[in-house]
Structure 1
Amino acid sequence: MKTSTSASPAAARTDHPSPNHRRTRRHLRTFTALTAGALSLASTSLPLTIPTAAAHAQTPPSAPAAGPVWPGPDGRPGATGRWITDPAGRTVIYHGENIVAKKAPYTPESIGFGDDDISFLKANGYNAVRLGIIWEAVEPQPGQYDEAYLDNIENTVRKLADAGLGTLLEVHQDAWSKRYGGEGAPDWASLDQGLPALPGGLIAAQFSPAVYQAVNNFFSNAPAADGVGIRTRFVNMWGHVSQRFASVPGVIGYSPINEPTPGWPFLLCQADLCPQPVVDRLISLNADVAKTVRQQDPRTTIWPMAYITTALGTHPQMGAPVDPNEVYPFNSYTIICNIGINLPGFVCDPHQRLNAARSREYAEQWNIPYAMTEFGAIGSPGVLTTQSRIADDNRIGWFHWNYGGPDHTTSAPSPENQAMVKNPQLPPTGDNVNTDNLTNTVRAYPKSVSGTPLSWGTDQNKVFTARWNGQRVDGTGSFAPGATSVITVPPALYPNGYTATVTGGRVLSEPGAMDLVIAADGPGDVNVSIAPR
């Protein structure tokens, strides 16, 4: 194993199916007992301690200003007010897939993700991937980094970039670590004082005393065997990762940790009553990661996520942004629709719209971009249509969960139910493609707009409409006449081709092109309508 050692510390998958319906319902029946037990154990747990961090203002500015465009060595996108923009100031929307290997060796190639899968994504109109890296794989021993693992991740990122797909790098975890039936933290950073762990995967982990205690010890910066705090090690790990990827083409962002759990106060946080010290310790962690990343990479956006409870509808409670170049990511699920039972889209729609609305409220409060970074761990294609439509209604991008491969911590009936490609070890063709998921998820979208997007969406007849004007989102004026915008039209939507009608601009691309290129006549509105032939 090629490893490197950190400087002195600064001040997964298996081939087994996910839990079946019967096991999931059994977990739900124990909810009341687990609730009482967790609250009782919480009263005797270690006290919460909050690492020192700079204070964050809790009130928004009276007149939020658009942030700067942050160009990078290969055209890094950046946050400009509520939009993500490229170095030319064009707004950018992402449609992506999640790629996460949850079992050792935790590499994309270990689940079969390779060149043919990248070609599949590109051919179906995707322009981004949310790629999970696993702390245990990056830092198998305290302060020692597995450079061969990071080389493998970098190779995937570069291949994606060569195909025109950006990569959002995120440290993924479910159930804290493999010790508790999930993946994420190394064993040396899973300190639980011998408290019992509840078996049963992701759902049970939310009520597990061992997980609660391990998370509390992490936020309290309890020392590992070498005497250095495990939270400190995590922050330093992000410094190493960002140094490695600061100049790698195609990186569009860093997300500190997926769905962090609040630990002992989980039930209070799920009731939208998260104690302020618990809120503050996640804000502090995100701030420290952002500060460490900025010492290595001053350009790439940072995507700090709120607690896992926000994925189930609670308010983000994130405080002020921890970085001027920040995007707010939210995962969108619901308790009622993520219990391993297929439910129709209209049942889930109100809950999912609430998730998006609360994320929008937070993003608008601080005038920052936001995006849906997970949806789809479910067995109902109709829900995928609902979620895609919600993203369109909110004028944001998304990353579907997930591309494919074994997933032992999913809430879907099986990994195949949620996948775009059932088995990435095989070519993404024929019956190996989950056609229902693909056609219910992919949509036409404005990949790049020279101006301000005003609306876009697809109706039940598969007619797509979009409208934008030529005003720059940073408020510095308008784009010149002839400035181009790109609407991506996935072939799966229109197998017999499409017709495009444009007012306020003209089409430059060839008929039927997947990327419909439109040049604006001037700074006024451009209207586009795309219909199947």
Structure 2
Amino acid sequence: MMYVRRIAMKKILMGLLLAAVTVVTACEDTETMAVTGSYFKDAAGGVITFRGVNMAGNSKVPDFMPIKSPEVLDPLPGWGINVIRFLFTWEAYEPERGEYNREYMEYYKNVVDWAWERGIHVIVDFHQDAFSRFQIHGCGEGFPEWAIPPEVSKDTPCNDSSCKIWGAEMIWDFDMHTCWNRFYLDKYGVRTSFLEMVDSVSTEFGDHPGVLGYDLLNEPWGDEIDEIAVLYEDEAEIIRGNDPDSILFLCPHALISAGNTSELPAMSFGNYVYAPHYYDGSIITINMWLGTSPDASLDKQKKKADAWKVPIFWGEFGVNATALGGAAYMDLFYAWLDRYHVSGTQWNYTPGWTPEKYDGHNDENLSIVDDKGKLRANYRIRPYANRVAGIPVKFQVDRKDSGALKVFMEWDHDSSIGETRIFLPREALFGDVGYTVASSGSYLTYAYDDAGLYLLITSPVSERKSITITSDNY
């Protein structure tokens, strides 16, 4: 039976009364997150979906500290962002071997605090691309200059428009591959220094409630079985000694972001997720989407997570804001995330974007905001199931070109877990148009939170339930 918005007041009051104790219990501790099967779950057992951004494109270059004030994070909750994959640059933290830069650490900690004050989790992302700014003609980033082997020539960093095809250049760059080879062999102790750096960072954040976990190394090169996996095992042992409850995010080999198959094996430790990246080849090379659905490539990576019995988390995806067809491609990508109740962080949020330097690194132009802080064509506010009290079954958003939309959600409700939350910002999505709610299931009650961002749904009866929210102009 379907129940429309004008539910009998008696049923609403009864439902609220019976659910009250459950909701209070569910909200006692939702800060501790853990991996359970293919889901992220909070301490009460609610299934959590994370939707967020990488921050920031210009974090890769000096002064490495682009987030200058907490106010630049203010818009994010209203856009549905509840997690930031926050780039951590080793070169910035240890510019001289054995000497950690406290100014950089204090900067990083401040931003983590600012995010958490706004209810946003942070993934500490040990980030690099092509090893170092002193490699592939000055177009890489991440590892400090002193980490380059003495037999390898150093390039002058530039990270400007001359680096436009850096992703292709690194494939054939012999010096860069030599750097990775010496790193894994620990020939000059660089691998040891890297692990010492990881130890230092995880010690700093071991008791921070806002740190969701650590991305162990962004887009690494090396043999996935004999080198990358072994490094991850070593990192995990160190991090878990400092931050036992942290979730670890495992990025496969750099080339997997082009849709290749990963050979990364399952790990011996627990509480981790498979965190690949994906970028459409035509959009990256010719700035045009040729109409190929991303589904097949995304399905391929999900099979690995399913085999490991862990969640998949898309650590990076996105498009140039000027790409022809880019917005339609992103709609398909997010529809896939909704279909499988998957979390991810889009690349990227760069508050310091400019029309001249774009994201501030290698002529990339993927920031979701412009120089005025306004959203660009590659990102739009989207509903999603932020928390499910039970097991999600289906979540689907149908949106017309006019902006009119219909949101459908179905789940197996567990009344002991508390409330279900749908990110559904009332003003941004409905404005003055209005909406209608229809539902199935016993004693289902719903109301917006005080900020008008989340629809909160409760029921004292455990059973399969559904809810449909339709704008009046649909």
- Between the aligned partners of 1:219 and 1:372, the Cα distance in structure 2 is 26
Instruction: Quote the offset at 1:354 in angstroms.
Output: 2.6
Identity of matched residues, %: 23
Instruction: Quote the offset at 1:315 in angstroms.
Output: 1.8
Q: What's the counterpart of residue 379 of structure 2?
A: 438
Instruction: Quote the offset at 1:415 in angstroms.
Output: 4.1
Aligned ranges for residues 172-321 of structure 1 at < 5 Å?
172-180=127-135, 181-191=139-149, 193-194=151-152, 200=163, 201-223=166-188, 229-262=189-222, 278-321=224-267
Letter in 1 for 2:62: A
Letter in 1 for 2:456: V
Q: What's the counterpart of residue 369 of structure 2?
A: 421
Aligned with residue 486 of structure 1, among 414, 421, 431: 421
1:468 aligns to 2:407 (yes or no): no
- Between the aligned partners of 1:479 and 1:75, the Cα distance in structure 2 is 20
Aligned ranges for residues 28-47 of structure 1 at < 5 Å?
none
8 Å CA contact retained: 2:152, 2:178: no
Residues 326-374 of structure 1, C-alpha deviations (whole Å, 9 max, x = no match): 0111111133332142225x23x1xx22332122111111111111111
Q: What's the counterpart of residue 36 of structure 2?
A: 80
1:457 aligns to 2:396 (yes or no): yes
Residues 82-137 of structure 1, C-alpha deviations (whole Å, 9 max, x = no match): 1101111111101101103111121242xx5x333211111222111110010111
Distance 1:192 1:388, change over 3 A: farther
- Between the aligned partners of 2:450 and 2:437, the Cα distance in structure 1 is 9
Q: Which runs of 5+ in 1 are unaligned?
A: 1-71, 224-228, 263-276, 471-477
Instruction: Quote the offset at 1:285 in angstroms.
Output: 0.5
8 Å CA contact retained: 1:290, 1:322: no
Aligned ranges for residues 4-15 of structure 1 at < 5 Å?
none
Instruction: Quote the offset at 1:194 in angstroms.
Output: 3.1
- How many residue pairs match? The answer is 416
Letter in 1 for 2:32: R
- Between the aligned partners of 2:168 and 2:129, the Cα distance in structure 1 is 10
Instruction: Quote the offset at 1:322 in angstroms.
Output: 4.1
- Between the aligned partners of 2:429 and 2:213, the Cα distance in structure 1 is 29
- Between the aligned partners of 1:446 and 1:246, the Cα distance in structure 2 is 29
Distance 1:377 1:235, change over 3 A: farther
Post-superposition, which runs of at least 4 consecutive aligned residues in structure 1 deviate over 6 A?
196-199
Instruction: Quote the offset at 1:197 in angstroms.
Output: 7.0
Q: What's the counterpart of residue 407 of structure 1?
A: 359
8 Å CA contact retained: 1:99, 1:108: no
Aligned ranges for residues 50-65 of structure 1 at < 5 Å?
none
Aligned ranges for residues 111-130 of structure 1 at < 5 Å?
114-130=69-85
8 Å CA contact retained: 1:448, 1:487: yes
- Between the aligned partners of 1:157 and 1:499, the Cα distance in structure 2 is 38
Q: Which secondary structure state, in structure 2, belongs to the residue aligned with residue 280 of structure 1?
A: helix
Task: Name the TM-score, length of structure 2 as normaliser.
Answer: 0.82
Q: Which secondary structure state, in structure 1, belongs to the residue aligned with residue 284 of structure 2?
A: coil
Letter in 2 for 1:157: V
8 Å CA contact retained: 2:359, 2:367: no
8 Å CA contact retained: 2:224, 2:253: no
Aligned with residue 331 of structure 1, among 277, 280, 291: 277
Q: Which secondary structure state, in structure 1, belongs to the residue aligned with residue 112 of structure 2?
A: helix
Letter in 1 for 2:127: H
8 Å CA contact retained: 1:506, 1:521: no
Q: Which secondary structure state, in structure 1, belongs to the residue aligned with residue 276 of structure 2?
A: strand
Aligned with residue 526 of structure 1, among 461, 465, 468: 465
8 Å CA contact retained: 1:489, 1:514: yes
8 Å CA contact retained: 2:39, 2:311: yes
- Between the aligned partners of 2:77 and 2:436, the Cα distance in structure 1 is 22
Q: What's the counterpart of residue 60 of structure 2?
A: 102
Q: Which secondary structure state, in structure 2, belongs to the residue aligned with residue 145 of structure 1?
A: coil
Instruction: Quote the offset at 1:235 in angstroms.
Output: 1.2
Distance 1:434 1:240, change over 3 A: same
Residues 30-57 of structure 1, C-alpha deviations (whole Å, 9 max, x = no match): xxxxxxxxxxxxxxxxxxxxxxxxxxxx
Q: Which secondary structure state, in structure 2, belongs to the residue aligned with residue 205 of structure 1?
A: helix
Residues 150-176 of structure 1, C-alpha deviations (whole Å, 9 max, x = no match): 111111111111111111110111121
Aligned with residue 316 of structure 2, among 365, 374, 392: 374
Letter in 2 for 1:483: G
8 Å CA contact retained: 1:454, 1:469: yes
- Between the aligned partners of 1:381 and 1:194, the Cα distance in structure 2 is 42
Distance 1:105 1:510, change over 3 A: closer
Q: What's the counterpart of residue 50 of structure 1?
A: none
Worse-superposed segment, 373-382 or 443-452: 373-382
Q: Which secondary structure state, in structure 2, belongs to the residue aligned with residue 381 of structure 1?
A: helix
Aligned with residue 501 of structure 1, among 438, 443, 453: 438
- Between the aligned partners of 1:216 and 1:479, the Cα distance in structure 2 is 53
Distance 1:76 1:298, change over 3 A: same
Q: Which secondary structure state, in structure 1, belongs to the residue aligned with residue 283 of structure 2?
A: coil
8 Å CA contact retained: 2:391, 2:412: yes
Distance 1:214 1:75, change over 3 A: same
Residues 180-224 of structure 1, C-alpha deviations (whole Å, 9 max, x = no match): 21210001112272369797323312221111111111111121x
Letter in 2 for 1:333: Y
Instruction: Quote the offset at 1:483 in angstroms.
Output: 2.4
- Between the aligned partners of 2:169 and 2:29, the Cα distance in structure 1 is 44
Aligned with residue 92 of structure 1, among 48, 61, 84: 48
Letter in 1 for 2:73: I
8 Å CA contact retained: 1:73, 1:247: no
- Between the aligned partners of 1:260 and 1:355, the Cα distance in structure 2 is 20
Letter in 2 for 1:421: V
Distance 1:159 1:498, change over 3 A: farther
- Between the aligned partners of 1:340 and 1:195, the Cα distance in structure 2 is 32
Q: What's the counterpart of residue 394 of structure 1?
A: 340
Q: Which secondary structure state, in structure 2, belongs to the residue aligned with residue 303 of structure 1?
A: strand
Q: Which secondary structure state, in structure 1, belongs to the residue aligned with residue 62 of structure 2?
A: coil
Instruction: Quote the offset at 1:280 in angstroms.
Output: 1.9
- Between the aligned partners of 1:421 and 1:238, the Cα distance in structure 2 is 31
